[in-house]
Structure 1
Amino acid sequence: MAKTGKLAAFKLGKKTAMVNLPAQFVTASSSNAKGQKYSNLVDYANNKDKIDDQNNESITELLDLKKQFNEADYATRTSATTEQEPIFSSDKLHYNNHDISVLRKRLEKAQSNGNNIHELAFSLRGDWLVENNLYDPKTGNIDQDKLKHAQQKVAKTLINQGFKLPLGESDRDVVWFGVIHQDTDHLNMHLWFTKETKKERPEMLKQSGPFKGQPTGVIPLEKIELAKHEFRKELMKDKSRQKRVAILKGLGQLKKDIILSSDEALSSERYVDQIKAIFLALPQEKKGHWQVGNSNLMANHTKVAKANHLTNQLLNDLFQNEFKEEYASFKQLGRQFDAFKY
């Protein structure tokens, strides 16, 4: 995303992703080797007047986490924030000098104990902020408190569910902080977090390879998607949330109607030959042990590839004939539901 050179001057009318959530992390060993300190990320005094993981999303515009250590005021720079005390965490929405001092010491302890530091960046487009009463383009006002409360909730989810086990061994064993940046065409919220005490649980350490014994850094994509969903849900205004629920109910009812009517449709003579062809294409030596869902219907080079292709064609015919109206409505509601995510 591009720098605007202004605060709260977000682009409107740009139908790109509502929330983009790239994730990156760096290891303590690589930071130590370069003389980089985790605490540099929150160098509050200077601003008073990644190892990228292939399973995580990435955007080229996000400043590499490794480079952020060299940006002394990256988190709190005045060109991106409007608050006097922009850093927040689980306990307070505004960190003062004392809070920052404690935060720095905890980050230094986490680094000395060999823990990774993670960053996730929430990117929210201006139109979505306006739709949900989070941003007034006329005044430039942003409901920062509501945004911070949403990130507090999501941070807890990521820390407790983003790994094989909760990242911390207690509620006080993880240190995290966040900040809102306003100097790009989308609003950005950053979240940095790390375990404070030394990792010793085998499930949380690499068991083989060149990084054996070091903390794992991967946050599975499905966990990131869960965080995005929770973040959107937390910030949606009631009207949008009610509309979303209504669409989900409509999708569920259409799905139910199609399934209930499928037996009658398939029993007609129109599809007998197609059903027979599917049966004959199945591996007869596996009769009685056929399973559904082991491969995509369009997958090739499997024992059931031919049967899957024939089944896919049968479904297409059913949706073009018997369920044409229901399927059209289903796709329309599906597009409306996608609009809540993108």
Structure 2
Amino acid sequence: MGHADVIVDVAFLQYGKHAPSNSGFKGIVTTESVFGGFVNYLVRDKAISNSMDDELVRGKREQAKHTASSLLHSEHGLDGSLMDYTSRENATKNSNDKTYFTMTNEGKLYSQEQREEWIRNSMKSFSKDGDLIWTLVVSLDNYDLLNEYELKTQEDFASTTQKALNKTFKKIGLDPKNMIWWEDFHTNTDHPHMHITFLEKEHTRDRGKFTEKEIDKVKTTIITEIAARKRYKELYLQESEDALKMINPLKKEVISQMETLSYKTLKDVSNLYSQLPRSGRLQYNSANMAPYKNQLDNIVEQILKSDELKGTYEQFTDHLKKFDDNMNAIGNEKISHMLEREDTKLRVMIANEILKGFKEIKQDPTEKANKVHTWKMDHGTQLLWNALEQIKTDDLLPEQKIVIKELKEQNFVAAQMAIKNLGNSDMDQYLKGSVIVIASTKDAEKERGIEYLHSASEQGNKQAKKFMNFFNRSVSFTKNEFHGYKQRFGMRLPKFFKRMLNARKKEVEEEIDEYLKQNQKKIYEKESGEYPSYKVKRGEQKI
């Protein structure tokens, strides 16, 4: 099996602990083992003997010895450390650079004085139990790729690292201003690679291991920066850029066609309106929407899969998928989730617009959905009363029996006090919902009870399921009502899209800029109707 073009290894070290097996580091991790003989090892002449002239090599060797010697006798021994390993000279033997440097959060370190000062300033941030340090190894599969990605000098790697790290820190919840980091570019193996190490100046994070989402963010950002180099831009990314730029126009077309909604879809909208709470926050992700979310999702799905919208929606998702495929191919794993993210946003926008339509009619006493809502609440209350007689109390808990007793005796205040002693089982949730619906005099309070009944139904309570089936049941939907709903959506949605587009424009542009750094147009070098033979090798990505 082949290899990915770019591999990103992630590991962490904790002060005073044994180094993890995947860190490439052995023994107990201390200040000395991280910052020890870093300079001596990183800038050793073997690593860069083919990239610098003899005089410079000798100078670097003497500089390294002097620095290591002086630091070795400080209170922190510096020999044989992590920094020593990453910046050693023999690691850059195939580099074209004549003067080797280590890139850091404070800039490039060339001289003995610069390295010594930077190390002394940084060591105190990794000196006590719990302090963390993270290491990344970013490898390219072969040296030919350095040309393809326009990574030809230390400067190329350093600038790529600097841009990637600042964005990475923000994405994983670290403050870029609170970070110490260094990067070294190595060419002493079959795979050119970078060692990137970072830690916090002031300790704020206690968890060393990154979550899968955090690892994805780290890899996405680093791979994106590498992919944004000139050659990759020319050969590969313009297609992705074009795909991203189609997001808003296609989204506009999807929304503008919603006025052609079918009879069944608008009937389902009307039925949803007859159930929704008349008070509280009405947004797709609000807590009181839980009982109605599945219905709303089904309506949105009908809209997007309707004959009128299906083709446009598929174009929309195809463009997003193409972008994800392009980004994931270079890293040989799933790290870009643009399709999932943008599709979810579109669905939530449509759902919220449907809910907004409800807000405009919920106070109209002549609206059929409101009349049906009142009827459902009244008959639902009676349904719960009747169900009380069918509940077998033999297997119930004492606190559950008390609730049923007080409710049957219509001691509503006592029943409402008694449900405070209930837990979260399906029967507990059912009894809470029943008491609130039966005992409450205001619709807003009754609607809160439906949330409990929905939860009980989801847990499998048969009586709760019976109630929710009744409450969700649709009623007749006349032709006049259909045309009224169709007209309402046909008038609303063009205005809705204009607002939505303005709100999303900046965000999408930022996403485009995040993934595609450069503005050059792709040079189409088609051969026999094909793009150039640029292939990403497939294989397992290492973590």
User: Shorter-chain TM-score: what band?
Assistant: 0.5 to 0.7
Match of residue 246, structure 1, among 222, 238, 242? 242
Partner residue of 1:88? 103
Return the structure number with greater relative CO, CA threshold 8 A, min gap 6: 1
Superposed CA RMSD: 4.4
Count of aligned pairs: 273
Partner residue of 1:333? 319
Residues 172 and 217 in structure 2, CA contact (< 8 A), matched pair in contact too: yes
Q: Superposition pairs for residues 59-70 of structure 1, below 5 Å?
A: none
Structure 1 residue 150: Cα displacement: 1.5
- For the residue of structure 2 that corresponds to 1:227, the secondary structure is helix
Letter in 2 for 1:276: K
Partner residue of 1:152? 162
| 2:306 is aligned with 1:291 | no
Letter in 1 for 2:295: A
| 2:229 is aligned with 1:235 | yes
Structure-2 separation of matches of 1:125 and 1:278: 54
Letter in 1 for 2:40: Y
Structure number with the higher helix fraction is 2
Structure-2 separation of matches of 1:217 and 1:283: 48
- Structure 2, unmatched stretches of 5+, are 20-26, 47-79, 329-543
Instruction: Report sequence identity in percent.
Output: 16
- For the residue of structure 1 that corresponds to 2:308, the secondary structure is coil
Match of residue 305, structure 2, among 311, 317, 331? 317
- Structure 1, unmatched stretches of 5+, are 3-10, 50-67, 135-141, 169-173, 296-301
Structure 1 residue 21: Cα displacement: 4.8
- For the residue of structure 2 that corresponds to 1:44, the secondary structure is helix
Letter in 2 for 1:246: D
Structure 1 residue 146: Cα displacement: 1.5
Structure 1 residue 307: Cα displacement: 0.3
- For the residue of structure 2 that corresponds to 1:30, the secondary structure is coil
- For the residue of structure 2 that corresponds to 1:303, the secondary structure is helix
Deviations 1:119-153 (A, max 9, x none): 2343456687554444xxxxxxx344222112122
Structure-2 separation of matches of 1:310 and 1:283: 16
Structure-2 separation of matches of 1:175 and 1:96: 19
Letter in 2 for 1:30: K
Structure-2 separation of matches of 1:186 and 1:333: 34
Structure 1 residue 72: Cα displacement: 6.0
Partner residue of 1:193? 198
Match of residue 179, structure 1, among 173, 184, 204? 184
- For the residue of structure 1 that corresponds to 2:100, the secondary structure is coil
| 2:33 is aligned with 1:42 | no
Residues 44 and 100 in structure 1, CA contact (< 8 A), matched pair in contact too: no
Partner residue of 2:263? 272
Letter in 2 for 1:227: T
Deviations 1:315-342 (A, max 9, x none): 4532xx2234323433442233224412
Residues 160 and 167 in structure 1, CA contact (< 8 A), matched pair in contact too: no
Partner residue of 1:224? 218
Structure 1 residue 314: Cα displacement: 0.5
Structure 1 residue 163: Cα displacement: 3.2
Structure-1 separation of matches of 2:221 and 2:38: 24
Structure-1 separation of matches of 2:196 and 2:87: 10
- Go from structure 1 to structure 2 and tell me whether the alpha carbon gap of 1:336 and 1:223 turns closer, same or farther (over 3 Å shift): closer
Structure 1 residue 192: Cα displacement: 0.9
Partner residue of 1:303? 291
Structure-2 separation of matches of 1:175 and 1:192: 8
Residues 181 and 199 in structure 2, CA contact (< 8 A), matched pair in contact too: yes
- Go from structure 1 to structure 2 and tell me whether the alpha carbon gap of 1:131 and 1:279 turns closer, same or farther (over 3 Å shift): farther
Partner residue of 1:30? 17
Structure 1 residue 189: Cα displacement: 2.4
Partner residue of 1:137? none
Q: Superposition pairs for residues 125-140 of structure 1, below 5 Å?
A: 131-134=148-151
Which structure would you say has the larger Rg?
Answer: 2
Structure-2 separation of matches of 1:341 and 1:259: 28
Letter in 2 for 1:292: Y
Structure-1 separation of matches of 2:274 and 2:186: 58
Structure-1 separation of matches of 2:84 and 2:141: 27
Structure-2 separation of matches of 1:41 and 1:255: 57
Partner residue of 1:54? none
Letter in 1 for 2:88: T
